[in-house]
Structure 1
Amino acid sequence: MAQAAVRILSSGWEFKCETDERWLPVSQVPSNVHTELLQHGLIPDPFKDTNELEVSWVAERTWCYRTRFVTPSEGRVQGSRTDLVFEGLDTFATARLNGKVVLESDNMFVEYRVDIGKLLAGGAENTLEITFEPARQRGLELVKAHPEHDFIVHQTEVSRGPVRKAQYHWGWDWGPILLTCGPWKPVRLESYVSRIEDIRVDYEVHKNRGVPTILEATIHAHVLGPAAELEVDLLFPGGHAVSLKGRNDTPAEPSWKYSSTKLSIEDPDLWWPRGYGPQNLCELRVRTIGGPGSTLLAEEHQKIGFRKVELVQEEDKFGRSFYFRINGVDVFSGGSCWIPADSFLPQITPERYRDWIQLLADGNQNMIRVWGGGIYEPDVFYTACDELGILVWQDFMFACASYPTYPDFLTSITTEARQNIRRLRHHPSIILWCGNNEDYQLVERYNLEYNFATDKDPQSWLKSTFPARYIYEHLLPTLTHTESPSTPYHPSSPWGNGTSTTLKVDPTVGDIHQWDLWNGEAKPWQALAQMGGRFVSEFGMMGYPHTATLEAFLTDPAERYAGSRTLDFHNKAVVHERRMLAYVGENFGLARAASGGGGGGLAAFAHLTQVMQADALAAGYKAWRRDWGREGARGCGGVLVWQLNDCWPVVSWAVVDYYLVKKPAFYAIKRAMAPLAVGVTRKFHDWTARPADELWRRNTGHVDSRKMLTDIEFDVWVASSRLEAMKGKVVVRFVSVKTGEEVRGRIEEDIEVQPNGCTEVLMGYKFDWGKATVAEPEHFVIQAALLLGGTQVSSDTSWPDPIKYLDFPDRGVAVKDLGQGLVEVSAEKPVKGFVFSEKQGMKLSDNGFDLVPGDEPKLVQVENGGAELGWTFVGR
């Protein structure tokens, strides 16, 4: 027998409810029961209207899948072995082969491999049947079986705590309750004599300024079954190759391990994040050879990249830093948090995964955080990140709960973590393993036992009221340091190095989740500059998707209005009705929301939420990227918006909806994260309240809103991710909202843009009406533009707050079709929040922008837009 014979069992499956007699055909495996029921017309589409409620019964039933296959001829070869491999079963599953139980599984994240050679029916047909029990019911049974644990679970009911299943299936504040089951990953047969079970490359990159970079690497392989020798080829970009061979002195042994001698390569081609260098990848090929004629028994390939990652946490004048240094270069991490892209995971095609990561890259983002309530994503996700230079912050799958630590649970999650670290560790894009999402917040909320400074005994943690500390500060770091030593580990997100754990956001240490925007105190988004930290790994603002998406899930035209029963059902955030109306009302006014752009109604309200979301997120990215500072004085190391995507059509914090249709906020981030980005912001006055002082003792509404016109102070700066200094010019203009004319002379500053940091241009600049060219003070837009060699490369605008006090008659907007998908947009007077209506399949180079007369016309490339392209803006 030569190489292993692999057969994917993807077709010929049937399914049924356990109590039914009739089996129904399955479209294909991977599968889950909801999509199969939907294909047969047995349930309504859970993503539309309130149908989520109509399908809740599915999660209460036991479901069965079965298929038949002929015994592979390769499995009858002397000395061979045939395995049945389940890459992922969701979740409590019992597998029977020819009526005999071969597997009982309870962890969705674990791959199971079963030797079935002795159970195969000769040359006859075999029957494989898998029974899936209800996850919620089993979870409640586990809670009852372990009274020694206080199961504290946020966002959902308690049954998810002891269940190793994607946690978002229980519903979240952006997702539905759809407790799926089924063979969610491939099922396959493998017949082989020899198998390469594991490959590992340990390496160090010695990179210092002025000294040649040295790569030292050791290659390990674990081989099962007989093999006389093992061949290893490492192919570098440009054709350079390294070949190694190792012999097995006892080739009849069932298992042997190989380690190469340490390689030493001078000036290797390193892997770099997007925007900092090329994404050099090597091909690693491993083969086992044995038997007469040097027979090839097994072969495995991996794409790997070499990079040096440091999580820099040093004491400084701000507290303790938190940022990433890649190959010796400080990197500001601007990106997004990622949730699973579908409630029904088998529906996500490899092409859809690649489209998501390409979209991220096109938006000038360089990091994605895989959130701990979802899944360890498939290889195609990380491969796309490798190829496009997207850094990956990888959470382990724990979120918003106090997890148990009884022995069976610890055994299961140990297998889960080790398998997934080994599967993913070769991806250079993964630059951080993180223990969980927000689990330490329960420590403070419920006063759980936790003494970071003095209690360093992991065994004592298991006996405390917060036993999960054992998982995050002992089990997982031990595994990651052993299995993936070149990648840092972080116990939690957020995490303040034991000093903050962090309901109380500590801006001086660790990473923070800044939810005093929208949640918590629901502060104005204009205050974000004062709400940063050393690394903001979550913050967000809600915004509606475009009208086409809304109409896709609101099938009843009578429900297509803001605040309808169905629309509220498709927003899972607590008190979203109050928060959305409050933010829209204080910024734009409710009268404008009711009667504004696109003829009023739902479209008008949706547009204002989009502009509000874009303004808020732009403010955060601009301010915190400004705080990146410069080498030796790094303030903020990164910003990750919650969230990039949705798992179903919904109103949420996502900047791109379920159908990959981008909201205006996506483009706002794209502009703020450009390699060279000018920023301008004016001092914010909260016109809704007078801050408390010693006399008033509390906030009141006694404010003088006339100061909007008289107390004007602003900053201008330039952020750069370029690694070299650049000479340029910043031009600042002051343009009347009413007339479109400039109200005073321009400010022009010749500057040298500092590399990889922020260059301050104007700080605390006070606007003087004595230098104005108009008789009376009036509202104006501040526009800052960055020019290099006379060419404008970036611009930014600052409007008076709040927008609801401004009037927008007769804007003189012109939209011209220049042909070949190129559209020119201009205006005679300043325009706030110009938005093209987008739909699935449409691609725009820019959207959701402001227009300022006298500026260069806005050119937008539109693909698949056609004659249906519509638009609106604030006040239309």
Structure 2
Amino acid sequence: MARYTVQALSAGWEFKSSNDSIWRSAQVPSEVHTELLRHNMIPDPFVDLNELDVAWVAEETWHYRTEVPIPETATHNGAKVSGVEVDLVFEGLDTFATVILNGETILKSENMFIEHRVAVKHLLNSNTANTLEIIFEPARRHGLELVKAHPEHNFIVHQTEVSRGPVRKGQCHWGWDWGPILLTCGPWKPVRLETYANRIQNVKLDYELDLTGPSPVVEVNLFAEITGLACRVTADFFFAGETIVSFEEVVSNEAQGTAAWIYQPASTKIPGAKLWWPRGYGSQNLYELRVRVMSADGDGSTCLAEERQTVGLRRTELVQEKDTIGQSFYFRVNGVDIFIGGSCWIPADSFLPRITPQRYQDWIQLLADGNQSMIRIWGGGIYESSAFYTACDSLGILVWQDFMFACASYPTYPSFLTSITTEARQNIRRLRHHPSLVLWCGNNEDYQLIERYKLEYNFPDKDPASWLQTNFPARYIYEHLLPTILASESSVIPYHPGSPWGTGTSPTLAVDATVGDVHQWNVWHGTTAPYQRLPDMGGRFVSEFGMEAYPHLDTLHRLISNPAQRFPGSQVLDFNNKAVGYERRMLTYLGENFRVPADLAGFAHLTQVMQADAVAWAYKGWRRRWGRAGERACGGVLVWQLNDCWPTVSWAVVDYFMVKKPAWYTIRRAMKPLAVGVARKFHDWTARPADALWKRDTGHVDPREALTDVEFDVWVANSRLERVEGRVVVRFVSVKTGRDVKERLENEVVIEPNACTEVLVGFKFETDVPAKDAEHFVIHASLWVEGEQVSSDTSWPDPIKYLDFADRGIQVKSLGQNLFELSAEKPVKGFVFSERQGVKVSDNGFDIIPGEKAVQIRIEGAESEPGGLLPWKFVRQ
């Protein structure tokens, strides 16, 4: 009998446009822009204004072709062997594709998220060439045709044009407020030829964990679909190479025939199960599941088909319990409450085939190195490569997975529902055994359209059929279709209808900050509130917030080829930043807080310091609200966003080239297992809120009040599961002189496990100095455990632009071996090395406080720089 064999069809491809007669070599997986780049037929869309010059690519029809061999095992003496099947498998076609084999159409695809399997043995020639051709038609054109064909649906599409609404394609390919319009096409995932007599599919391991005893006990249930003839099927469950449990079943040919059949042995219990834990809470234990179909010939030792799955055992709960605020929203893994500090993720490249498994691994390693615990895969991108989730499994990073719907009111006509049903089922099956995946979420921001456009949403109405008759029929997708599919395909992963989403205070309200997750965009967007107010602007879980910043200078130079364009607000930079109105918002925040420089290096530096400051206020303030068991006011925070899909100015804390902005380091400090925080009462120095007397906001404010009316809090956040004894030291250091302006405070503290411990609340800085003679000072808090400083934090007086940073007395001393020591005579704000690709810096974007231990920094990869030291800047006026 024929063994299961796979032949990758990656070589020998050619491509061309319908308007071109010349076929050129192609590499599959492929996307047409990358092929055109490889042949020097288009300029790099990531440089200058070249995005505009390649727009024509999306309007063309593109052809790919190759020759397909007939597998040797499928023929004998020129004749096709009975009982042996040959399938062409297309893991992903982007997007409107017609597949032709030897002149016959075998497939039409309209969904880039679906894998297609086509039986082709009957079409393959044994003695002549077999030509496979794939024709890709323009996605935008088809999208507009679908909108016109369905006038019954009121398409509402945000961020981009309406044509993306009915198209099952990465929604950000139409452009977003951080990415270019690059409507790609091509066989973006592998194409392969499979030959088999037996095939195993839909392997599913359901399990239940009993955590009540001295060690975990798991009960496992196995399910698999098997096609073809077989006499023996085995399944083995391994841990660290050791067999934990084995299943075997002998099936007679009469019982199974030639049709597909189900292999489902009896469930079994495994005592002493090794659990998979999030990073920082335990080991990332992984089991291997192997299912095999054995030959009926001889001794039955020949394996005809085999399927392997890596499985992690863990219990995941989304805890939503009524409390004094509303309803909680946080994650519990293996019975342990987990505060989430992480990021949102967009596709790492506009051209998806360029993202290698190693690049995924590097991104997730970067996330882990930054003390982050979760990545949210945003609903306007793609269901990521399995390599992404494998990296998260190995590094203990939790994954929040959106289904691919974002910022639109999606249709529900029958063919659309059929397509997304297949899409959801396939991707759930592909990803369900990854222990890192802890939440499926219905969409990104689609429920916000209800409030903005006053769409119909009657929460008490629980009849899914009635939802299809409203002007928001997509509710049927998010609250009926997707959760139903998930329940049947993966019972161990929670579901959340949308992000943001929550109901509680009103039966018709779709988003409620006291109940569900929130996207806090009243900083930057919305009311453009001061970012210092972020700690009081959260919710039960903040799944988006952000502040824009420029990337480092080297990245800026790579995206701007003309030196004459390298200044803030240049045509290229304005075009490259896709956030509408960003000039006003960025200059508003810069102008409120800093003295704005005119040069590119200085401007970029201050945007980075500003972003880091905003991120610090958010992560520190919202982690503080984690509280303790039973009082989880905030369950986590995810910054928008971790990464970029091209070199740009955006909210990313790491740029396209994986060069970290200072905000990445800020998150790392704020998310240390033990982290001290300090924050003074915020004084709005430009306006006094409206009151009964004035009836309006007014600018009649004495800015000197901030010098004498100083009230601050100090706390310690602890993600460890044990109580810790420590000492908190608070200093008050003059910005002008570097000397202490008041005697330090020292507090012995008992830090509660998995909680936030308040040290000082509403502590007033007492002074007899009149406001006109008072001086600015920083409040520096440090945490000491067993004689070692494990964390520190600094609160600066706002706004920074009022401070005099002359004569800081900075000293940089080389200690050899790429190690440098930094100190200063006076407080230094926002010390930033100008990083670039290929250089590794141990810390960046920090403050230097005199009288504290000197900062030691290791810089690797900058040997070509004078003294091996990168260029650096700090806030100076």
Q: TM-score range by the shorter chain?
A: over 0.9
Judge conservation of contact 1:611–1:848 (CA < 8 Å) in 2: yes
Equivalence map 1:307-318=2 (5 Å): 307-318=314-325
What CA distance in whole angstroms lies between the structure 2 residues aligned with 1:241 and 1:174?
48
Instruction: Give the root-mean-square deviation of aligned CA atoms.
Output: 1.5
What CA distance in whole angstroms lies between the structure 2 residues aligned with 1:502 and 1:274?
39
1:204 counterpart letter in structure 2: E
Q: 1:714 to 1:779 in 2, by over 3 A?
A: same
Q: 1:615 to 1:501 in 2, by over 3 A?
A: farther
State the SS of the aligned residue for 1:866: coil
Q: 1:840 to 1:480 in 2, by over 3 A?
A: same
Q: 1:409 to 1:491 in 2, by over 3 A?
A: same
Aligned to 1:137: 141
1:15 paired with 2:15, answer yes
2:717 counterpart letter in structure 1: A
Aligned to 2:43: 44
Shift, 1:668, TM fit? 0.3
Judge conservation of contact 2:442–2:497 (CA < 8 Å) in 1: yes
User: Which one of the candidate residues 83, 91, 97 is aligned to 1:93?
Assistant: 97
Equivalence map 1:342-491=2 (5 Å): 342-453=349-460, 455-491=461-497
Shift, 1:71, TM fit? 1.4
User: Which one of the candidate residues 157, 161, 177 is aligned to 1:153?
Assistant: 157
Judge conservation of contact 1:441–1:503 (CA < 8 Å) in 2: no
Deviation string, structure 1 residues 274-300 (Cα, Å, up to 9, x no partner): 011110000111101132121311011
Q: Identical aligned pairs, as a percentage?
A: 66
1:207 counterpart letter in structure 2: L
Aligned to 2:677: 679
Equivalence map 1:515-554=2 (5 Å): 515-554=521-560
Any gaps of 5 or more consecutive residues in structure 1?
595-600
Aligned to 1:583: 589
Aligned to 1:229: 232
User: Which one of the candidate residues 251, 260, 264 is aligned to 2:265?
Assistant: 260
Aligned to 1:842: 839
1:833 paired with 2:830, answer yes
Deviation string, structure 1 residues 266-324 (Cα, Å, up to 9, x no partner): 22110000011110000111101132121311011111100001110001112100000
Aligned to 1:271: 276
User: Which one of the candidate residues 664, 669, 683 is aligned to 1:666?
Assistant: 664
2:623 counterpart letter in structure 1: R
Deviation string, structure 1 residues 553-611 (Cα, Å, up to 9, x no partner): 00000000000010011100010000000000100023xx23xxxxxx00000000000
1:292 paired with 2:289, answer no
Aligned to 1:865: 862
Q: 1:192 to 1:861 in 2, by over 3 A?
A: same
Aligned to 2:288: 283
Judge conservation of contact 2:502–2:513 (CA < 8 Å) in 1: no
What CA distance in whole angstroms lies between the structure 1 residues aligned with 2:222 and 2:636?
33
1:322 counterpart letter in structure 2: F
Deviation string, structure 1 residues 428-473 (Cα, Å, up to 9, x no partner): 00000000000011111111111012x1111111111011000000
What CA distance in whole angstroms lies between the structure 2 residues aligned with 1:354 and 1:327?
25
Q: 1:6 to 1:21 in 2, by over 3 A?
A: same
Aligned to 2:88: 84
Shift, 1:777, TM fit? 2.2
Deviation string, structure 1 residues 646-672 (Cα, Å, up to 9, x no partner): 000000000000000000000000000
Q: 1:72 to 1:502 in 2, by over 3 A?
A: farther
Shift, 1:771, TM fit? 9.9
Q: 1:780 to 1:497 in 2, by over 3 A?
A: same
Deviation string, structure 1 residues 655-694 (Cα, Å, up to 9, x no partner): 0000000000000000000111000000001111110011
1:650 paired with 2:655, answer no
State the SS of the aligned residue for 2:43: coil
State the SS of the aligned residue for 1:70: coil
Deviation string, structure 1 residues 377-401 (Cα, Å, up to 9, x no partner): 0100000000000000000000000
Deviation string, structure 1 residues 322-375 (Cα, Å, up to 9, x no partner): 000000000001100000000000011111010000000000000000000000
Judge conservation of contact 1:237–1:269 (CA < 8 Å) in 2: no
Shift, 1:498, TM fit? 6.3
State the SS of the aligned residue for 1:10: coil
Shift, 1:517, TM fit? 0.6
User: Which one of the candidate residues 173, 176, 179 is aligned to 1:169?
Assistant: 173
1:805 paired with 2:799, answer no
What CA distance in whole angstroms lies between the structure 2 residues aligned with 1:698 and 1:504?
31
What CA distance in whole angstroms lies between the structure 2 residues aligned with 1:328 and 1:866?
48
Aligned residue pairs total 864
1:817 paired with 2:814, answer yes
What CA distance in whole angstroms lies between the structure 2 residues aligned with 1:794 and 1:867?
33
1:611 paired with 2:609, answer yes
Aligned to 2:211: 207
Q: 1:498 to 1:13 in 2, by over 3 A?
A: farther
Stretch of structure 1 that moved more, 182-191 or 763-772: 763-772
Stretch of structure 1 that moved more, 429-438 or 197-206: 197-206
Aligned to 2:222: 219
Judge conservation of contact 1:786–1:792 (CA < 8 Å) in 2: yes
What CA distance in whole angstroms lies between the structure 1 residues aligned with 2:153 and 2:570?
41
Judge conservation of contact 1:494–1:501 (CA < 8 Å) in 2: no
Judge conservation of contact 1:70–1:123 (CA < 8 Å) in 2: no
1:265 counterpart letter in structure 2: I
1:785 paired with 2:782, answer yes
User: Which one of the candidate residues 321, 324, 336 is aligned to 1:329?
Assistant: 336
Shift, 1:497, TM fit? 3.2
Q: 1:301 to 1:499 in 2, by over 3 A?
A: farther
Q: 1:448 to 1:631 in 2, by over 3 A?
A: same
Question: Structure 2 length as normaliser, TM-score?
Answer: 0.97
What CA distance in whole angstroms lies between the structure 2 residues aligned with 1:420 and 1:345?
17
Aligned to 1:125: 129
Aligned to 2:65: 66
Judge conservation of contact 1:3–1:299 (CA < 8 Å) in 2: no
Deviation string, structure 1 residues 151-186 (Cα, Å, up to 9, x no partner): 100000000000000000000000000000000000
Aligned to 1:875: 876
What CA distance in whole angstroms lies between the structure 2 residues aligned with 1:442 and 1:729?
49
Deviation string, structure 1 residues 23-69 (Cα, Å, up to 9, x no partner): 1111x100111111111111110000010000101000100000113
Any gaps of 5 or more consecutive residues in structure 2?
76-80
State the SS of the aligned residue for 2:469: coil
Judge conservation of contact 1:511–1:534 (CA < 8 Å) in 2: yes
Judge conservation of contact 1:714–1:766 (CA < 8 Å) in 2: yes
Aligned to 1:597: none
Equivalence map 1:771-782=2 (5 Å): 776-782=773-779
Aligned to 2:78: none
What CA distance in whole angstroms lies between the structure 1 residues aligned with 2:482 and 2:784?
49
Aligned to 1:598: none
Shift, 1:237, TM fit? 3.9
Aligned to 1:698: 696
Q: 1:503 to 1:575 in 2, by over 3 A?
A: farther
Judge conservation of contact 2:502–2:510 (CA < 8 Å) in 1: no
1:734 paired with 2:732, answer yes
Aligned to 1:341: 348
Q: 1:257 to 1:504 in 2, by over 3 A?
A: closer
Shift, 1:502, TM fit? 11
What CA distance in whole angstroms lies between the structure 2 residues aligned with 1:866 and 1:495?
50
Shift, 1:543, TM fit? 0.5
1:508 paired with 2:511, answer no
Judge conservation of contact 2:216–2:272 (CA < 8 Å) in 1: yes
